[in-house]
Amino acid sequence: MSFHLIFSNIDGSDDDYDEECTNEIANSNNNDNNSKEGLKRSNTVITEQQKHQLKHRELFLSRQVECLPATHIRGKCSVTLHNDAEPLTNYLVRDEAFYYKLIYDPNLKTLQEDRGSMRIGSDYQSEIQCLLKSKSEDVRLTEVHEELVWSPSHSLTVQEIDMFCLLAKAVGTYGRAHDTSSSTRQPLLLSATASAARDITRQHAHDILHEANYDLNKAINLLLPGGQPIIYRDQLEDWSANETNIFEEALDKYSKVFTDILSNCLPWKTHKSIVELYYFWKTTDRYVRQRRTKLAAQEHKLKQVYIPNYNKPNPAVLYHNTDKTINRPSLNSPQWYAWGPSNANSRLCTDCWSYWKRYGGLKSIESKERDKGELSSASSHDTILTSFDYPFIRHTCCLI
């Protein structure tokens, strides 16, 4: 699982993202309106500086998964789904705290809510039939809507029904013992008995009773048509051991995407049979053992990662530079860092550089009321880049 953060491009060379980010920004603006409404409901006073920093704390959930080496880890962050009842300012008082409201779809290049939407519109309304006139016939009464397969209004007792189901299981066991294909798949009589005791046999017994109008003598004759037993199998019994192994391997690879399993692994099967086998397979001991194995493997996975001290020299460090930053003229910093395109000669102090590395944006907001003469007096090669100077790109922050 990964989260995408929108922030300014430091090199200004990626123009391919303009069209993509136009949709993202539009959806993000809608999300900003929702955030403002949440602030109004919670009566939270928020400054322009806090609004600017809150934009750096919002991430966008993505279903894409990216794997990174453990040596690239520099720390741990907290990402939570934002609740409208919680003030957004709570994320500013905590370091490495992020929130998300929207899900990014890389295929459609859109942002969507991570909650169910209200189904409003004509597509979700029921169709109301016109009123019938007095003494007019209802045409729907002539249509066959369903077929009755069992009626509780009969003269049979529970003991008689159970006795007939037991007889159907015995006939199923007898038929499997004499069937060549069943003997090959299940050479043991115990396995044949267990297969005959499955729900498909009981369902078959109830169907015969209903067909015989709940007459036991007639139902017994239908149980052995022509003196030969009929074997009823479900998908779990109908599939061979090799096909079941292929299904389990495909399930590990494609999860529950049965369409891909059908097209890539089991094209000779039907979609209905694959879905039916899946739910039958979840009732077997084989599934229970496989699930226990996966849980045990997860417990032995790496839960703690040793993060070594990162003392490598930063190539962005500007040595022997004691000038003041243009973004914050009154600040002196013992160390400066080059930031942005090389031809811009922009620099950040230690505090702003640390904030940039953590949150992907400038810490202080660019004031619109700043004296224009102060900016014009700056050197043409010594400018400050704001978060609005360059097109937006996606920065990925993976959760480990």
CATH number at residue 275: 1.10.10.60
Do both 28 and 105 map to the same domain? yes
Q: Could you tell me if 243 and 227 lie in one domain?
A: no
Cα Dmax for the chain? 108
Handedness of CA 70, 75, 78, 79 (dihedral sign): negative
Q: Where are the alpha helices (DSSP H) in the chain?
A: 18-41, 48-54, 158-178, 180-185, 189-196, 199-211, 216-223, 235-238, 241-254, 258-264, 271-281, 285-299, 350-359, 372-376
| HSE value, Cβ hemisphere, 13 Å, CA-based, for 15 | 0
Looking at the fold, whether 73 and 97 belong to one and the same domain comes out as yes
Is 141 domain-assigned? no
Examine the domain organization and report whether 13 and 81 are in the same domain. yes
Residue 198 lies in a domain: yes
Distance CA 165, CA 173 (A): 12
Distance CA 335, CA 348 (A): 9
Give the pLDDT of the chain (400 residues) as one tens digit per residue.
445 443 333 333 333 434 444 444 444 445 455 545 444 444 567 888 888 888 899 988 887 778 877 777 777 888 988 887 788 888 888 888 999 888 887 777 888 776 655 667 777 788 887 887 877 777 666 666 778 889 888 889 999 999 999 998 888 888 877 776 665 566 666 777 777 778 888 888 899 999 999 999 899 888 888 878 878 777 777 788 888 889 989 988 888 889 989 999 999 999 998 998 899 888 888 888 888 888 888 777 766 667 666 666 677 777 655 554 545 555 677 788 888 887 777 788 888 888 888 888 888 775 333 333 333 443 333 333 333 333 333 333 333 2
Residues 216 and 164 in one domain: yes
Q: HSE-up of 11 (CA within 13 Å, CB side)?
A: 3
Q: Hey, which residues does 6 pair with through a beta bridge?
A: 394
Tally of structural domains, the chain: 3
Tell me the CATH number at 170. Answer: 4.10.1240.50
For residues 51 and 8, membership in a common domain is answered with: yes
What pTM was estimated for this model as a whole? 0.41
Is residue 182 assigned to a domain? yes
Parent domain of 253: 238-299
